[in-house]
């Protein structure tokens, strides 16, 4: 039996749960040829949305490094943090390391995309040891703990590892059937988090660069942990791979990546704030601070769209983010947001490849973006690493994963 899904809008006024339907946002939409998501089999998906004028463009996604990077080749000596802070290599030997979660007993678990692995990192004091928990999954990027159980979501599988910190060889429980995962791969790698309401939050990105997506995509959902009670929390989201809740207001904030194949200036990536369930953030009709899309066109494209808290740069690939709540960093860092910007490919000169600090009021006002971790860029055409996620440790230090070098850095403060 196929699980029905509900969009939290006027549909909730009716009793029960109705299947998703096209919303008013997609009415009377005109699509250019570039917005066709169905490419020939021999055309890579990242070329979707490319105009004819860019047919000879040399731009292409950066290939991942799927082998171990030797410690001597990891660029920690090139990296810079503000005065009083220290950055050091914390763990390595994890090709493709991306999103992180910490177990209740202190082990760190790391998801990946292309290499299909999940890693476990054990802190031995002076050193860290890593091992492969599972491999041969399809982009197991999303992972989160609930109690002593590790949850891992790939494109087409959802697994639960009960008591894994005490029992490294535990067999996973397959809970895929309870969640009715949409099958398309593009932008469908996950980020998982447990909300302050006790629910599981999961993004489902748009299966294209630019298109009018099917109703199951371009959204953030929440579930009960058994797969029941699915709700669409936010809509019109192209590709969010990082979110967190404000420590005081408990509102959900998230990063979102802007579309490709427009130009070097954008549209810029976004930091957004959800103030009501079902809120609409513009994709595919409206981008950044009110840029109507040229390939998915409709009248008053930006009407009713919630605008970003702040823009995060063009093609910077803003991914993992966390509010800082620790006691190690200076007081002025409290409730600031640290965001890993993975770095651009669809731009003639590189941008991103850093971690930024967003200083902002709890209501989303007065936002400003400042550099926090830099040094991954060498000139305008070479990068030394790709920061992907950030997570806070109990002592207040911050870990930063680097997908290119398959490692994790630790940032601390001593004044």
Residue-wise pLDDT tens digits, 280-318: 999 999 999 999 999 999 999 999 999 999 999 999 999
Q: What is the pLDDT of residue 144?
A: 98
Distance CA 62, CA 226 (A): 37
Write b or e for each residue in 315-348: b if 16 or more Cβ atoms lie within 10 A of its Cβ, otherwise e. Answer: bbbbbbbbbbebebbeeebebbbbbbbbbbebbe
For 25, the token pair is 């946002």
Flag whether pLDDT at 18 surpasses 90: no
Q: Are 186 and 236 in contact (CB under 8 A)?
A: no
In the predicted model, what is the mean pLDDT of residues 327-333?
98
Instruction: Give the 3-state secondary structure of residue 90.
Output: strand
Q: Which of 18, 37, 358 minimizes the C-alpha distance to 7?
A: 18
What was the pLDDT predicted at 27?
Answer: 64
Say what the pLDDT of residue 379 is. 84
Does residue 161 carry a pLDDT above 80?
A: yes
| Nearest C-alpha neighbor of 144 from the set 153, 135, 136 | 153
Residues 96-151: pLDDT tens digits? 999 999 999 999 999 999 999 999 999 999 999 999 999 999 999 999 999 999 99
The predicted-structure confidence for 47-101, as pLDDT tens digits, reads as follows 999 999 999 999 999 999 999 999 999 999 999 999 999 999 999 999 999 999 9
Instruction: Tell which residue, 164, 169, 184, has the closest CA to residue 239.
Output: 184
Q: Which pair of tokens denotes residue 65?
A: 């490094």
Q: CA 311 to CA 392: how far, in whole Å?
A: 23
CA separation for the pair 184, 182 (Å, rounded): 6
Structure tokens at 217: 């995509």
Query: What average pLDDT score do residues 367-378 get?
Result: 97
19 pLDDT higher than 60: no
Please report the pLDDT score of residue 415 as a whole number.
87
Instruction: Find the radius of gyration of the CA atoms of the chain.
Output: 20
What pLDDT is attached to residue 2?
Answer: 38
For 393: left if phi > 0, alpha if psi spans -120 to 50, otherwise beta; the answer is: beta
What does the pLDDT read at residue 164? Answer: 98
- % pLDDT > 90, the chain: 92
Say whether pLDDT at 6 is over 80.
Answer: no
pLDDT value at 13 more than 80: no
pLDDT band at 21 (very low <50, low <70, confident <90, very high): very low
List of long-range contacts for 410-415, beta carbons under 8 Å, 24+ apart: 410/87, 410/88, 410/89, 410/90, 411/81, 411/85, 411/86, 411/87, 411/373, 412/85, 412/86, 412/88, 412/328, 413/84, 413/85, 413/86, 413/328, 413/329, 413/330, 414/84, 414/86, 415/84
Span 221-243, average pLDDT: 98
Domains of the chain: 81-413 (2.120.10.30)
3-state secondary structure of 46: helix
Burial class (CB in 10 A: 0-12, 13-18, 19+), 46: middle
Q: Is the pLDDT of residue 16 over 80?
A: no
Average pLDDT value for residue range 263-268 = 95
pLDDT at 12: 30
Percent of the chain past pLDDT 70, that is, above it, reads 93
**If residue 402 lies in a helix (H) or strand (E), which one and from where to where?**
strand 398-402
**Is residue 5's pLDDT more than 80?**
no
């Amino acid at each position: 039996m196929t699980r029905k899904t509900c969009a939290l809008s006027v549909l909730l006024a009716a009793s029960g749960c109705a299947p998703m339907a096209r919303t008013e946002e997609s009415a009377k939409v005109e699509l250019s040829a570039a917005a066709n998501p169905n490419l020939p089999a021999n055309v890579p998906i990242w070329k979707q949305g490319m105009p004819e004028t860019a047919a000879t463009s040399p731009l292409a996604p950066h290939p991942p490094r799927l082998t171990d990077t030797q410690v001597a080749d990891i660029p920690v000596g090139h990296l810079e943090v503000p005065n009083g802070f220290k950055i050091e290599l914390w763990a390595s030997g994890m090709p493709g390391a991306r999103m992180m979660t910490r177990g209740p007993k202190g082990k760190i678990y790391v998801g990946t995309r292309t290499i299909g692995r999940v890693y476990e990192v054990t802190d031995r004091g002076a050193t860290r040891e890593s091992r492969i928990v599972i491999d041969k999954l399809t982009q197991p990027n999303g992972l989160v703990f609930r109690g002593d159980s590790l949850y891992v979501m790939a494109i087409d599988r959802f697994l639960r590892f009960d008591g894994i910190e005490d029992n490294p060889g535990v067999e996973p429980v397959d809970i895929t059937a309870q969640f009715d995962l949409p099958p398309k791969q593009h932008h469908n790698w996950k980020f998982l988090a447990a909300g302050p309401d006790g629910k599981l939050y999961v993004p489902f990105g748009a299966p294209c660069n630019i298109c009018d997506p099917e109703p199951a995509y371009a959204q953030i959902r929440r579930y009960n942990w058994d797969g029941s009670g699915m709700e669409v929390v936010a809509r019109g989201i192209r590709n969010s791979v990082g979110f967190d809740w404000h420590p005081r207001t408990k509102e959900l904030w998230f990063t979102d990546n802007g579309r490709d194949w427009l130009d070097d200036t954008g549209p810029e990536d976004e930091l957004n704030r959800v103030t009501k369930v079902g809120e609409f953030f513009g994709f595919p009709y409206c981008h950044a601070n009110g840029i109507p899309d040229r390939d998915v066109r409709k009248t008053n494209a930006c009407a009713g769209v919630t605008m970003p808290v702040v823009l995060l740069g063009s093609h910077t690939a803003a991914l993992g983010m966390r509010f800082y709540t620790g006691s190690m960093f200076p007081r002025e860092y409290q409730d600031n947001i640290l965001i890993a910007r993975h770095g651009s490919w669809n731009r003639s000169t590189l941008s991103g490849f850093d971690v930024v600090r967003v200083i902002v009021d709890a209501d989303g006002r007065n936002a400003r973006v400042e550099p926090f971790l830099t040094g991954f860029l060498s000139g305008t055409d070479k990068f030394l690493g790709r920061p992907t996620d950030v997570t806070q440790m109990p002592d207040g230090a911050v870990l930063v994963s680097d997908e290119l070098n398959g490692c994790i850095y630790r940032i601390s403060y001593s004044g």
